Structure 1
Amino acid sequence: MESTKKNFISWPVLAMMGFVTVIGFEDIMYNFKNQGMGVITSWVIMMILYVAPYSLMVGQLGSVFNSEGGGLSSWIRGTNNEFLGYFTAWTYWAASIPYVVDTAQSVIVGFGWAFTGDYKFQAALPNSEFTLLTFIVFVAFIFIQRHLSNSMEFLSTLGGIAMFAMTVLFILMSVTGLVQSGGHMATQPMNIHTIFPTFNLKYLTTIGLLIYAINGCELIAPYVTQLKKPKTEFPKAMLTLVLMTTFLTIFGSFSLGIFFDANHLPNDLKMNGDYYAFQALGKQYGVGNLFMYIYAWTAVVYMCARLAVLLDAMTRMLISDTGSKYMPKFLRKKNSAGLPVNGYILTTVLSGFIMLLGVFLPEMNDIFNWLLNLNGIISPGVTCWVFYAFMRIRKNSSKFQSDYVFIKNDKIAYGFGLFLLVVTAIATVFSVTPQDVTAYSGTWWYELIINIVAVIILIGLGAILPLIRKREEKYGDAFDRLQWISMITLTVVAIISMVWLGGAGHFIAIAVIACAYFLLVWLIGRRQPAMVQEQD
């Protein structure tokens, strides 16, 4: 009994663990740019109707499947079948690709501010150099994470707490400064109408990024059963999480309105806004760029650590969670240190593909914004699995027993799950519409195309891999050398067309990559060369 007691964690600790995974200062900045001061009302609505029930549903799912680690794929596997569990793991992994690329870009931006103290470094970088630097950072962390993964996990925790402290500091000092200055705000007029958003088509396209900002609490689900009294303590932890998130988002957005005119926001606010904010705070208190430099180095340490851990964790999770039934053996290959080397190669190739899609956008700021908005498409789409799994366990509650239950009435609970599933699915679809660019311009149409292409490639490849695995089981090797050469050559031609043909190149590249993709599908259905068949 005593050893069991040592494993208990307190509900305040669980609440803090959830908070670190859910929200950050940059998330507040992104949505402030999308909706201005009206985002305050959006946050209130999201906290009550989305975050609170979402967190409590995750608690029940984690309690039901505690013996399997409480992972999202195990929830789907347990309520449906093995293949859907694999596909969930794949989509969760695919959703991480834009996220890690976005993190690599944030590392570049953070270093720019930390070393130069302003935005000029980023502004002076051509798109091609920005993409190349991002790719170099990405590949470098593929190599160094093997040696630094343990220390990076520690630094990520330390950086996360530091980022939270910086955000709270910003809010408190902003409000204090507002009082000392006689209540003057950059956003005018500041009244009850200012904090209400305009509910139109554009608003619908921004909901996905709101969901992206506050999802992720399923990561703490395995810890539900480590509470001493899950039935009473878990709701306390989740309520605390909701209150902390509510405080940070509402007062954080209000604080931004002190320094930025919500009616005329800088175009690069998503990329540089958090640095602008701390720069403005430092000037208000007469300390120059001191707060900005502290924040910049905090962000650099946190982003670097998070990138290294993400690259290792996401690849290991995919390879280990799907096993040998659906994952091709060449992707499961490990080196002497136990690292899935070909899995890292796949991660690098797909990340490079995402970077290439955005390289011909007009400015570096457009690349940053597009990649961020791509997260607002894929991440909410993956969150739909959470609500689907919850609906399945409540449909057959006698089979899926748990220590903690969200709403005792199965029909009402099922209705909540269905409501959040529909809302999240609608937000995902509308998020495909490009943001931060002029509607129906050339850039708008290009972003729409690459949004669709990115989703098809990232998600569609997950449906193809099991077919490749079947081919391996039947013939030994999935493809012969000529087939591999054909697909690789088409991909190289696509890259060359993007580099040398400029404006028209990206459309040609998309067409060629699509040809390679469909060639892969076609080859799966073809029989292996006769010589190999005879050997079998």
Structure 2
Amino acid sequence: MDSLPNKKHYISWPIIAFLDFVTIIGFDDILYPLQNQGLSVVFTWIFMVVAFVIPYEMSVSQLGATFTDKEEGGLSSWVRHSTTDTLGYWTAWMYWAASLPYIVDVANSVIISFGWLITGNNSLGKQMSNFTFGLLTFIIILIFILLQNFFKHSMEVMATIGGGAMFLMTVLFVVMTVYSLTHGGQIATQPFNLSSFVPHLSLQYFSTTGLLMFAVCGAELVAPYLIRMRNPKKDFPKAMWLVALMTAFLTVFGTLSLAIFFNANDLPHDLKMNGSYYAFQLLGQQIGLGNFLLYIFSIVQAIYMMAQLAVLLDAASWVIAGDTAASFMPQWMSKRNKNGRPLNSYLLTSGLCLFLLLMSGTLPDINSIFNWLLNLNGIVFPFKNCWVFLAFIAVRLQADKFNSSFVFIKNKAVAIAVGSWCFVFSFLCALMSFIPQDVKFGTAAYAQQLLMNLFSVFVLFGAGLIMPFLARLEKRKQAKMSQLLK
């Protein structure tokens, strides 16, 4: 079926694009790689867009156009239908688990945005203890879980406003940067020549590439909403192309603009946490607007991050409450409340987010907490991406079984080769990202963060082994009850 005439409320493809855009990349995401790789990250971004982002977005487009039935599992449904139930379950679990560090990170960012909005400076880290920061983060997550149950379409509205406003703010930043340069502004990064853009290949360089992959991934997160589109087979690829174009613009031109205001060779130590606010503060001051642009951006950032949180909590919870094979998940995990929401999925999400908050609370300050949670995403997201390309390869190998209105790369052999490249690239980026960043090798902080990386990933992914065990216990109990009733 190409359309769904019985649906009362449709989501248009531009809104799907903005829903996707708010979960994929924001102004913050171009700051992290700049701190890690300097001006050479422009080259890395161009490479990523051509060699990974476009193949990734188009692979998701073909999968979305292939599986447009009424199942809510999204990526796990794609893998389950194209491979096996077991792989479908592990896709669902790892996809959901990979979203948890990002959920905590986004909730952190909500607090930081309000901190700048209230104080107009970076004093939050000095005024707030780790415990208070963690407690507020957890409270925000709980509040948004509750809001999901009362306001059905608030997520779409917030995502449209937040995604559109963030993209416009980025365009504004680029335009105003050009204006500043043409009116006497100076380039902070020196030298600003071709050699500065050449990457220095090293262990540090490769270990930070996973964070770039994290910054541009998340397109498949909107897969559960395909059944709420009027014509998903035709319109979903349009949304993916729009997301790819916006991502390319933001990463390349946004980075070039940042290098004009920041010395890429000597960046603030808290750039990952506060860099976007510094950028708009500097821009406003240089063009004579004071802190006006800073406050505008703080409002946009707050809405944008809250929209991200709403989409992430909703979509991620549907993944493990969707069509995952019943033999792997206990029935209570798919239980819905009176509003049709997966209640126990939300509770499990809250529990593991609390685990991450407790882990991060052992770090020395808020900036370290923010950086570690951010870097953890550079590990788990590339692992999650592997499932996207596994499903894409499986679908192309079974072309006679799966028909799609949109086909990425007509030649089967070339398509499989591209999918295989993206799979291997994702896996290697995930492994390299275990290496701690922002701390020096051989220090106690390095050893602590390495252990935290290993233990966190083990808990997040390894906890998936418990659900099949609980499902078997549940079936045994039900079998005993049925025998007693006889």
TM-score > 0.5, shorter chain as reference: yes
Amino acid aligned to 2:261: F
Find the counterpart in structure 1 of residue 64 from structure 2: 62
| Distance (whole Å) between structure 2 residues aligned to residue 10 and residue 136 of structure 1 | 32
Find the counterpart in structure 1 of residue 231 from structure 2: 226
- 1:239–1:328 distance in 2 versus 1, CA, 3 Å: closer
1:117 and 2:123 aligned: no
Structure 2 gap ranges (5+): none
Q: Deviations over 1:374-414 (max 9, x none)?
A: 11111111011111111112222222222222222212211
| Distance (whole Å) between structure 2 residues aligned to residue 121 and residue 408 of structure 1 | 53
Shift of 1:238: 5.2
Amino acid aligned to 2:320: L
Contact kept in structure 1, 2:90 and 2:464, CA below 8 Å = yes
| Distance (whole Å) between structure 2 residues aligned to residue 457 and residue 117 of structure 1 | 38
Find the counterpart in structure 2 of residue 525 from structure 1: none
Find the counterpart in structure 2 of residue 43 from structure 1: 45
- 1:132–1:466 distance in 2 versus 1, CA, 3 Å: same
Larger mean Cα displacement after TM superposition, 132-141 or 197-206 = 132-141
TM-score (norm 1): 0.82
Task: Give me the identity figure in percent.
Answer: 46
Find the counterpart in structure 1 of residue 88 from structure 2: 85
Shift of 1:133: 2.0
Amino acid aligned to 1:99: Y
Contact kept in structure 2, 1:72 and 1:218, CA below 8 Å = yes
Contact kept in structure 2, 1:208 and 1:377, CA below 8 Å = yes
Contact kept in structure 1, 2:3 and 2:231, CA below 8 Å = no
> What secondary structure does 1:66 align onto?
coil
Contact kept in structure 2, 1:76 and 1:84, CA below 8 Å = yes
Q: Deviations over 1:395-441 (max 9, x none)?
A: 22222222222222212211111111101100000011111111221
Contact kept in structure 1, 2:363 and 2:369, CA below 8 Å = yes
- 1:135–1:16 distance in 2 versus 1, CA, 3 Å: closer
- 1:268–1:90 distance in 2 versus 1, CA, 3 Å: same
Find the counterpart in structure 2 of residue 157 from structure 1: 160
Counterpart mapping for 1:145-224 below 5 A: 145-181=148-184, 184-219=186-221, 222=226
Find the counterpart in structure 2 of residue 286 from structure 1: 288
Amino acid aligned to 2:359: L
Instruction: Choose the corresponding residue for 2:476, options 474, 477, 487.
Output: 474
- 1:205–1:394 distance in 2 versus 1, CA, 3 Å: same
Shift of 1:216: 1.9
Amino acid aligned to 2:184: S
Instruction: Choose the corresponding residue for 1:102, options 101, 105, 117.
Output: 105
Contact kept in structure 2, 1:9 and 1:227, CA below 8 Å = no
Instruction: Choose the corresponding residue for 2:409, options 407, 410, 424.
Output: 407
Q: Deviations over 1:52-86 (max 9, x none)?
A: 22222222222222225592111101111122212
Shift of 1:43: 0.7
Counterpart mapping for 1:1-80 below 5 A: 19-68=21-70, 71-80=74-83
Q: Deviations over 1:323-360 (max 9, x none)?
A: 64322234344444444433322211111101111111
Shift of 1:247: 2.2
| Distance (whole Å) between structure 2 residues aligned to residue 3 and residue 97 of structure 1 | 33
| Distance (whole Å) between structure 2 residues aligned to residue 211 and residue 204 of structure 1 | 12
Shift of 1:535: 10
Contact kept in structure 1, 2:258 and 2:279, CA below 8 Å = yes
| Distance (whole Å) between structure 2 residues aligned to residue 127 and residue 370 of structure 1 | 13
Contact kept in structure 2, 1:282 and 1:292, CA below 8 Å = yes
Find the counterpart in structure 1 of residue 328 from structure 2: 326
Amino acid aligned to 2:37: Q
| Distance (whole Å) between structure 2 residues aligned to residue 343 and residue 240 of structure 1 | 31
Q: Deviations over 1:449-508 (max 9, x none)?
A: 11111111111111220111101111359xxxxxxxxxxxxxxxxxxxxxxxxxxxxxxx
Contact kept in structure 1, 2:31 and 2:271, CA below 8 Å = yes
Shift of 1:156: 2.3
Amino acid aligned to 1:96: S
Find the counterpart in structure 2 of residue 261 from structure 1: 263
Contact kept in structure 2, 1:259 and 1:277, CA below 8 Å = yes
Contact kept in structure 1, 2:190 and 2:263, CA below 8 Å = yes
Shift of 1:150: 2.5
- 1:449–1:228 distance in 2 versus 1, CA, 3 Å: closer
Contact kept in structure 2, 1:9 and 1:228, CA below 8 Å = no
| Distance (whole Å) between structure 1 residues aligned to residue 18 and residue 148 of structure 2 | 26
Contact kept in structure 2, 1:66 and 1:225, CA below 8 Å = no
Contact kept in structure 1, 2:65 and 2:232, CA below 8 Å = no
- 1:109–1:10 distance in 2 versus 1, CA, 3 Å: closer
Find the counterpart in structure 2 of residue 132 from structure 1: 135
Amino acid aligned to 1:140: I
Shift of 1:249: 1.1
- 1:259–1:325 distance in 2 versus 1, CA, 3 Å: same
Amino acid aligned to 1:450: M
Find the counterpart in structure 2 of residue 314 from structure 1: 316
Find the counterpart in structure 2 of residue 517 from structure 1: none
Shift of 1:149: 4.6
| Distance (whole Å) between structure 1 residues aligned to residue 84 and residue 402 of structure 2 | 15
Contact kept in structure 2, 1:278 and 1:292, CA below 8 Å = yes
> What secondary structure does 2:197 align onto?
coil
| Distance (whole Å) between structure 2 residues aligned to residue 23 and residue 281 of structure 1 | 21
Contact kept in structure 2, 1:153 and 1:306, CA below 8 Å = no
Contact kept in structure 2, 1:68 and 1:74, CA below 8 Å = no
Contact kept in structure 2, 1:387 and 1:418, CA below 8 Å = yes
Find the counterpart in structure 2 of residue 442 from structure 1: 444
1:141 and 2:144 aligned: yes
- 1:143–1:459 distance in 2 versus 1, CA, 3 Å: same
Amino acid aligned to 1:341: L
- 1:220–1:476 distance in 2 versus 1, CA, 3 Å: closer
Contact kept in structure 2, 1:63 and 1:225, CA below 8 Å = no
Q: Aligned-pair RMSD on alpha carbons?
A: 3.1
Counterpart mapping for 1:481-492 below 5 A: none
